Amino acid sequence: MKKHVVAATLLVSVLFATVLVFAAQQSIKDRLFAKTNELFAEAKSVQADLLSPKIYRKAVEKKEDAEKDFEKGKNVEKKLIEIEGLLQEAISNAKLAKLTFPHLLTAREDALEANAPQYALEMYERAEEQFQDAAETVEDGDVKEAREKALKAEKTFREAELQAIKSSIIGTVRESLDQADAQDVEEYAPLSIAKAHRLLNEAESILNSNKSAKSEAREKAEQAEYEVNHAFYLAEKIKDLREDEDNWEKLILAHEEQFAKIIEALNFQPTFDEGFEKPANSAVLAIDNLKNENKRLNQEVAEQNEQIEKLSSELNSVRTKLTGVQAEVDQTKKKEEKYERIQKLFTKNEADVIREGDKVTLRLVGLNFGSGKAIIEPEYFSLLSKVQRAIQIFPDYGIIVEGHTDAVGNDSYNQKLSTNRANAVREYLIASMGLNSGQITAVGYGENKPIASNDSEAGRRKNRRIDIVLSPKM
């Protein structure tokens, strides 16, 4: 037994000594490589890996050799001096390259923002090769030739950007039109197909004249996509009608049935003996009445909130006569009641209510958008109505609509998409509640504030979200 204890003690001692030796060796390495690491950081900051690729790559390879030599106990000071010289040269080359072709990097960044590696891979790779060729020519000292090569690379990056924008915005619609052509949809729905072609041509013309007008072009493309899908639907229905004359009556009766569901939800019974115009007008009138009633109720709520605030103010005046502790307890209780009211508004599938001090965040887990879109579908209106009621519980709080995405795709694209979705919710709340534009703010954070890992679909689904943040005004 004693022998085992002694052996264990010796083993622990050896392990401890090994750890100390390793720590000491790592400390020496950190000091020895400190200046080299600083120069690598500076080189990265001026993009020397892009703008002086040959020399930067050589410095990286020599550093790897130096680290191996250090592990073998060899003297690496001479190699480190050589590496530092290479890095200083790469930094100088990078700075010269930025002066030589200042617009090339911007063109490359714009191509990346347009997701050119996904939508225009061949052209983007050609631009990258031209970019590297220009950078290596700077390293060789031929500034004039480097400038000419840079102009060529810049042009190719711009072409890749435009191709990517076109592909991402109108590519899907063109595929749908090709499919419609293959299925002879135009024979049955020529007007819708013609309209789709016209809208798609308008989108392409917008991009050709001004590629920065992406949102306007995307809107045209989405309208064209709708017309194509509508044409497919119409073609299918018209084929059925041509096969059997009875299908005309069946179609009209089916439409009356669907229309009746809407009108019956407005609490009156429609009749179609004179067509659709009379029930349609009645429906419009009923909807207008509902809007007016909603406006009146919102005004009533506002007046009640004003009265509540007045009563609260009077109550607070009385409470000032009590001890500070009691007043604080009462105020906390009032807030807790409000928080509980908000909690009860939402089911777990609609929203998570998160409280951080006096701030309340409504994480709308039940609100979803179409891929790449910022349009609120009617199925989510009831959820947003609950959001309105939650806002009315804290009438004196500031309102911020936050948009968030997952990490799939380009940073700039995700940033813009999150901002557009946040603005869509903001505009809906302003229109529905009669707020002025200064009462509610929309902010897009893109992929910068994840709440889960982007490595799984479940995590990415959590990260794609809209948060409504209610907080006391400063």
Say if residue 332 is in the same domain as residue 420. yes
Instruction: Say how many C-beta atoms besides its own lie within 10 A of residue 470's C-beta.
Output: 20
- How far is Cα 124 from Cα 118, in angstroms, rounded to an integer? 9
Give yes or no for residue 36 having a pLDDT over 50.
yes
Tokens of 331: 């105020």
| Window from 171-175, 178-182, 203-207, 266-270 with minimum mean pLDDT | 266-270
Give yes or no for residue 7 having a pLDDT over 70.
no
Q: Please report which confidence band the pLDDT of residue 322 belongs to, taking 50, 70 and 90 as the band edges.
A: low
Say if residue 383 is in the same domain as residue 446. yes
Domain membership of residue 419 (yes or no) is yes
Instruction: Say how many C-beta atoms besides its own lie within 10 A of residue 421's C-beta.
Output: 26
- The position carrying tokens 């009356």 is 256
- Coil/strand/helix, residue 404: strand
Instruction: Please state the rounded mean pLDDT for residues 44-60.
Output: 89
- How far is Cα 227 from Cα 215, in angstroms, rounded to an integer? 19
Candidate ranges 25-34, 66-75, 245-254, 257-266; pick with highest mean pLDDT: 66-75
Say if residue 312 is in the same domain as residue 444. no
Each residue's pLDDT tens digit, 85-116? 999 988 988 888 888 888 888 899 888 888 88
Domain membership of residue 69 (yes or no) is no
Domain membership of residue 136 (yes or no) is no
What pLDDT shows up at residue 323? 45
Say if residue 341 is in the same domain as residue 257. no
- How far is Cα 91 from Cα 84, in angstroms, rounded to an integer? 10
Q: Does 240 or 8 have the greater pLDDT score? A: 240
Helix pair angle (77-100, 102-113), 10° resolution:
90
* Cβ atoms 410, 417 nearer than 8 A: no
Q: What is the DSSP string of 94-144?
A: HHHHHHH-HHHHHHHHHHHHTTHHHHSHHHHHHHHHHHHHHHHHHHTT-HH
Domain membership of residue 94 (yes or no) is no
Picking from 243, 277, 307, the residue at the C-terminal end of a domain is 243
| Window from 76-80, 126-130, 187-191, 290-294 with minimum mean pLDDT | 290-294
- Name which of 63, 58, 131 is nearest 100 in CA terms: 131
* Contacts with 320 (C-beta within 8 Å, 6 or more apart), sequence order: 327
What pLDDT shows up at residue 11? 55
* Cβ atoms 164, 118 nearer than 8 A: yes
Picking from 243, 258, 276, the residue at the C-terminal end of a domain is 243
* Cβ atoms 366, 383 nearer than 8 A: yes
What pLDDT shows up at residue 197? 93
- How far is Cα 40 from Cα 84, in angstroms, rounded to an integer? 9
Provide the number of structural domains found in the chain: 4
Say if residue 264 is in the same domain as residue 229. no
- How far is Cα 262 from Cα 279, in angstroms, rounded to an integer? 10
Say if residue 460 is in the same domain as residue 326. yes
Say if residue 405 is in the same domain as residue 422. yes
- How far is Cα 128 from Cα 215, in angstroms, rounded to an integer? 27
Each residue's pLDDT tens digit, 341-392? 888 889 999 999 998 888 899 999 999 988 888 888 888 888 898 999 999 8
Each residue's pLDDT tens digit, 169-189? 788 888 999 999 999 999 999
What pLDDT shows up at residue 1? 53
Domain membership of residue 70 (yes or no) is no
Picking from 321, 341, 373, the residue at the C-terminal end of a domain is 321
Say if residue 434 is in the same domain as residue 461. yes
Report the mean per-residue pLDDT for the chain.
Answer: 84
Phi, psi of 186 (to 5 degrees): -60, -30
- How far is Cα 153 from Cα 386, in angstroms, rounded to an integer? 53
- The position carrying tokens 């939402």 is 346
Q: Please report which confidence band the pLDDT of residue 195 belongs to, taking 50, 70 and 90 as the band edges.
A: very high
What pLDDT shows up at residue 19? 45
Domain membership of residue 290 (yes or no) is yes
* Cβ atoms 426, 403 nearer than 8 A: no
Domain membership of residue 156 (yes or no) is no
Say if residue 337 is in the same domain as residue 408. yes
Domain membership of residue 259 as a residue range: 245-321
Tokens of 38: 């600083």
Say if residue 448 is in the same domain as residue 340. yes
Q: Does 344 or 332 have the greater pLDDT score? A: 344
Domain membership of residue 384 (yes or no) is yes
Q: Please report which confidence band the pLDDT of residue 320 belongs to, taking 50, 70 and 90 as the band edges.
A: low
- How far is Cα 83 from Cα 40, in angstroms, rounded to an integer? 10
Alpha helix segments (H runs only) across 46-76: 48-51, 53-71
Judge if pTM exceeds 0.75: no
Instruction: Please state the rounded mean pLDDT for residues 131-154.
Output: 90
| Window from 44-48, 232-236, 318-322, 408-412 with minimum mean pLDDT | 318-322
In this structure, what CATH number is given to the domain that contains residue 371? 3.30.1330.60
What pLDDT shows up at residue 25? 60
Percent share of the chain, pLDDT over 90: 29
Give yes or no for residue 307 having a pLDDT over 90.
no
Instruction: Say how many C-beta atoms besides its own lie within 10 A of residue 97's C-beta.
Output: 27
Q: How many residues does the chain have?
A: 474
Q: Please report which confidence band the pLDDT of residue 306 belongs to, taking 50, 70 and 90 as the band edges.
A: confident
Say if residue 19 is in the same domain as residue 7. yes
Say if residue 169 is in the same domain as residue 291. no
Q: Please report which confidence band the pLDDT of residue 10 belongs to, taking 50, 70 and 90 as the band edges.
A: low
